A and B are shown apart, each in its own frame.
Chain A
Amino acid sequence: QKEVEQDPGPLSVPEGAIVSLNCTYSNSAFQYFMWYRQYSRKGPELLMYTYSSGNKEDGRFTAQVDKSSKYISLFIRDSQPSDSATYLCAMSGGSYIPTFGRGTSLIVHP
């Protein structure tokens, strides 16, 4: 079993839809949870990070962490074609080394 599981997709949605992206993990030591966005042929860029369980909102993006279920989510409201990218979850604990999921490819079509 991989430490971080993420469905690679692709996930295709119409413009304006609410998108839900998810990751599960097995390492209970993980305390910090991040979401990165990666456009084709570019480096990942940090979207959001959260510490421990709970929700965090930033504009159209909401990150949720449920440590009891070892499950994290990223919601994107009013999705736009410019949101089309690969979304990577990442998490870290005492090692200070983020472990990444393999990424979910999102396609938002007009």
Chain B
Amino acid sequence: NAGVMQNPRHLVRRRGQEARLRCSPMKGHSHVYWYRQLPEEGLKFMVYLQKENIIDESGMPKERFSAEFPKEGPSILRIQQVVRGDSAAYFCASVLRGLSNTGELFFGEGSRLTVL
């Protein structure tokens, strides 16, 4: 059973370009979280989605960032007009059942975005 798959693993963009990060959850998992990790800050929550629905996006910057989890296909985190401050590792995690507090998040290997 494949784990959470994220791609690309590494992405380099110039300032002003768009970055699209993809996440395929574990088989049977219907909810995903996106977190951003910076060396000095640890993992910061961005958005929590189920298929075709955003449950909580309180951690998403108000501009340039968007996320979706369509009925078919992977979840996508989209960053428009990237700036150097967007350089970070972006992790996706999936859960078997939604709205569970058991902490059983299964993380992918992350996508490392570098903005030149």
Residue ranges of A at the interface with B (Cβ–Cβ < 8 Å): 6, 31-34, 36, 41-46, 49, 88, 90, 92-93, 95-103
Measured between alpha carbons, how far is A100 from B56 in the docked complex, in Å?
17
Among the listed B33, B48, B101, B105, which residue makes an inter-chain contact with A46, where contact means beta carbons less than 8 Å apart? Answer: B105
- For A97, give its contact among B40, B41, B48 (CB under 8 Å): B48
Is there contact, CB below 8 Å, between B104 and A102? no
The reply to whether A99 and B45 contact each other, CB–CB distance below 8 Å, is yes
A100 to B105 Cα, complex, angstroms: 12
Chain A residue contacts of B108, Cβ below 8 A: 43
B42 contacts partner chain A, Cβ-Cβ < 8 Å: yes
Known: A96-B48, A97-B56. A46 touches B103 (CB 8 A): yes
Convert B94-116 into 0s and 1s, putting 1 for each residue whose CB lies closer than 8 angstroms to a CB of A. 00001111111111111000000
Tell whether B4 is near chain A: CB-to-CB under 8 Å: yes
Is the CB–CB distance between B41 and A102 below 8 Å?
Answer: yes
CB-based contact B43/A88 at 8 Å = yes
> In the bound complex, do residue B110 and residue A43 qualify as a contact, i.e. CB atoms below 8 Å apart?
yes
The chain A residue sitting closest to B31, CB to CB, is: A96
**CB pair B56 A95 closer than 8 Å:** yes
Known: A43-B91, A97-B56. A103 touches B103 (CB 8 A): no
Q: Within the assembled complex, what's the spacing in Å between the Cα atoms of A33 and B41?
A: 19
Q: Which residues of B contact A (CB under 8 A)?
A: 4, 33, 35, 40-45, 48, 56, 91, 93, 98-110
Task: Determine how close the nearest CB of chain B comes to the CB of A40; give it in whole angstroms.
Answer: 11
Contact A45 B107 (CB under 8 A): yes
Chain A residues, Cβ within 8 Å of B106: 46
Give every chain B residue within 8 A of A33 (Cβ-Cβ): 103
Chain B residues within 8 Å of A92, by CB: 101, 103
- Which residue in A43, A90, A95, A101 is a CB contact (below 8 Å) of B4? A43
Taking A43-B91, A88-B43 as known contacts, 16 extra A-B pairs with beta carbons closer than 8 A to each other, sorted by chain A number, are: A6-B42, A42-B109, A43-B4, A43-B110, A44-B107, A90-B43, A92-B103, A93-B101, A97-B56, A98-B33, A98-B45, A99-B45, A100-B35, A100-B42, A102-B40, A102-B42
